[in-house]
């Protein structure tokens, strides 16, 4: 399907997509002629349209209707005609407002980002955390809770990962907790998550007393770098219902995909290394969400690549804007996170072990 398109064909193709995006009715030869050409007639355009249809870029709903872009057309359109559009002042203000507060946790940043993307683009947004391998573990804190459970708090140079209560068979009394803190930090602190595998092997022979705890901590870290439903954040799912022309049936199936976090995670996950944006369109590329497209960008926190942030919207979405938002936001997240951390850690690595001593 890689015919070379003449300049005029390109212009016609672009006209069709532009027109269809601005209003979703099949576009006719005369419409194109009026708005985009004054040197050739509609009959000539019809010839071009016919050729483009032949090549698979356009589709005709029925014999006497105008043309509608195919998935291939959108793909070509995005790759050749569209770049990130600079954001409106208003939108920048919105984003900055959202981020004008303290963030303590990665999760918090991610959730806020998802919200802001959905708010501004008016599409559904999805963010996946799936790559914290080169994040640096600054400290791990174990706090004893009930007799058999403890809270594990992981502090990294990209923020705090918390939310992990673990249950142990053994009693988590204060002396155990104290020793555990020392040991665990000896093992993990100062290393990146990526080094985890080798590290954990290194300590294979350590006191079996802490075996169970160690396994828990490793499990937690693994969970954060692996695909797991917990690491997928969706916002504005019901905006999926706003696309005109959608039937209830389509909406339902789309929402079902959104529900399946694991599937979604895979959908966003993108192998291609170098490009800024990844773009998926067509039923087979979007896990069966009909007439939709997915645009994602990698994002970083404190300079480390953490995952992907993206938008699921109708094929005829405002690609330029979406790209603009994703791009701006990825910068925003990064600088915010960086500020936070620099701001806070001017006296890094001073935290003594102070907890687990009452009862």
| Site of interaction with its own copies (CB under 8 A) | 102, 104-105, 139, 141, 143-149, 151, 153, 155, 160, 162-163, 165, 167, 173-174, 177-178, 181-182, 185, 237-238, 241-242, 246-248, 251-252, 255-256, 258-259, 344-347, 350-355, 357-358
Nearest partner of 311 among 122, 164, 134, 147, judged by Cα: 122
Q: Which stretch binds DNA (CB under 7 A): 25-33, 117-125, 252-260, 343-351?
A: 25-33
Q: How far is the CB of 292 from DNA (least distance, A)?
A: 21
The pairing of strands 304-314 and 292-301 is antiparallel
Nearest partner of 13 among 27, 30, 2, 23, judged by Cα: 27
9 binds, among its own copies, DNA, none (CB under 5 to 8 A by kind): none
Q: Does 41 bind DNA (CB under 7 A)?
A: yes
Q: Which string of b and e fits 42-62 if b means at least 16 CB within 10 Å?
A: eeebbebbebbeebebbbeee
* Contacts of range 274-280, beta carbons closer than 8 Å, 24 or more positions apart: 276/327, 277/323, 277/326, 278/308, 278/310, 279/75, 279/78, 279/79
Q: How far is the CB of 247 from DNA (least distance, A)?
A: 13
Among 63, 171, 274, 349, which residue interacts with DNA (rule: CB under 7 A)?
Answer: 63
Number of residues near DNA (by CB under 7 A): 25
Q: Does 18 bind DNA (CB under 7 A)?
A: no
> 27: which DSSP letter?
B
Of residues 23 and 208, the one with the C-beta less far from DNA: 23
Of residues 32 and 257, the one with the C-beta less far from its own copies: 257
66 binds, among DNA, its own copies, none (CB under 5 to 8 A by kind): DNA
Q: Does 66 bind DNA (CB under 7 A)?
A: yes
Among 9, 21, 24, 30, which residue interacts with DNA (rule: CB under 7 A)?
Answer: 30
- Assess contact for 286 and 296: CB atoms under 8 A: no
> In whole angstroms, what is the distance from residue 141 CA to residue 79 CA?
47
Of residues 39 and 100, the one with the C-beta less far from DNA: 39
Q: What are phi and psi of 240, to 5 degrees?
A: -60, -25
Q: Does 9 bind DNA (CB under 7 A)?
A: no
> In whole angstroms, what is the distance from residue 149 CA to residue 255 CA?
37
> In whole angstroms, what is the distance from residue 207 CA to residue 213 CA?
11
Q: Which stretch binds DNA (CB under 7 A): 43-51, 129-137, 193-201, 332-340?
A: 43-51
Nearest partner of 154 among 188, 126, 178, judged by Cα: 188
Of residues 63 and 247, the one with the C-beta less far from its own copies: 247
Torsion sign over Cα 46, 52, 57, 59: positive
242 binds, among DNA, its own copies, none (CB under 5 to 8 A by kind): its own copies
Q: How far is the CB of 37 from DNA (least distance, A)?
A: 8
Q: How far is the CB of 30 from DNA (least distance, A)?
A: 6
Binding site for DNA (CB under 7 A): 25-26, 28-31, 39-44, 46-47, 49-50, 53, 60-67
């Amino acid at each position: 399907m890689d015919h070379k398109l003449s300049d005029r064909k390109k212009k016609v193709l672009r006209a069709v997509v532009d027109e269809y995006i601005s209003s979703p009715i099949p576009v006719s030869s005369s419409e194109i002629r009026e708005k985009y050409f004054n040197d050739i007639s509609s009959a000539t355009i019809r010839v071009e349209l016919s050729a483009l249809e032949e090549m698979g870029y356009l589709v005709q709903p029925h014999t006497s209707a105008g043309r509608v872009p195919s998935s291939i057309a959108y793909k070509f359109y995005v790759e050749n005609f569209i770049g990130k559009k600079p954001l409106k002042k208003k939108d920048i203000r919105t984003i900055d407002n959202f981020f004008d507060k303290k963030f303590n946790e990665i999760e918090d940043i991610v959730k806020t980002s998802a919200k802001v993307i959905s708010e501004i683009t008016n599409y559904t947004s999805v963010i996946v955390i799936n790559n914290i391998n080169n994040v640096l573990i600054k400290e791990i804190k174990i706090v004893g809770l009930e007799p058999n459970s403890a809270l594990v708090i992981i502090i990294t140079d990209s923020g705090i990962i918390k939310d992990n209560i673990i249950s142990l068979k053994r009693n988590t009394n204060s002396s155990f907790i104290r020793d555990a803190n020392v040991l665990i930090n000896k093992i993990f602190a100062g290393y990146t998550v990526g080094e985890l595998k080798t590290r954990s092997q290194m300590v294979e022979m350590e006191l079996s007393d802490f075996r169970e705890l160690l396994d828990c901590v490793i499990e937690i870290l693994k969970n954060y770098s692996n695909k797991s439903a917990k690491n997928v954040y969706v916002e504005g799912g019901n905006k999926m219902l706003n696309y005109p022309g959608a039937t209830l049936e389509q909406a339902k199936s789309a929402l079902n995909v959104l529900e399946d976090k694991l599937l979604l995670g895979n959908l966003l996950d993108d192998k291609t290394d170098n490009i800024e944006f990844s773009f998926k369109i067509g039923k087979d590329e979007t896990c069966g969400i009909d007439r939709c497209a997915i645009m994602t960008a990698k994002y970083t926190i404190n300079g480390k690549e953490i995952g992907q942030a993206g938008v699921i919207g109708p094929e005829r979405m405002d690609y330029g804007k979406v790209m603009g938002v994703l791009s701006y936001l990825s910068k925003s997240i990064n600088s915010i996170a960086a500020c936070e951390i620099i701001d806070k850690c001017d006296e890094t690595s001073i935290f003594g072990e102070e907890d687990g001593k009452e009862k």
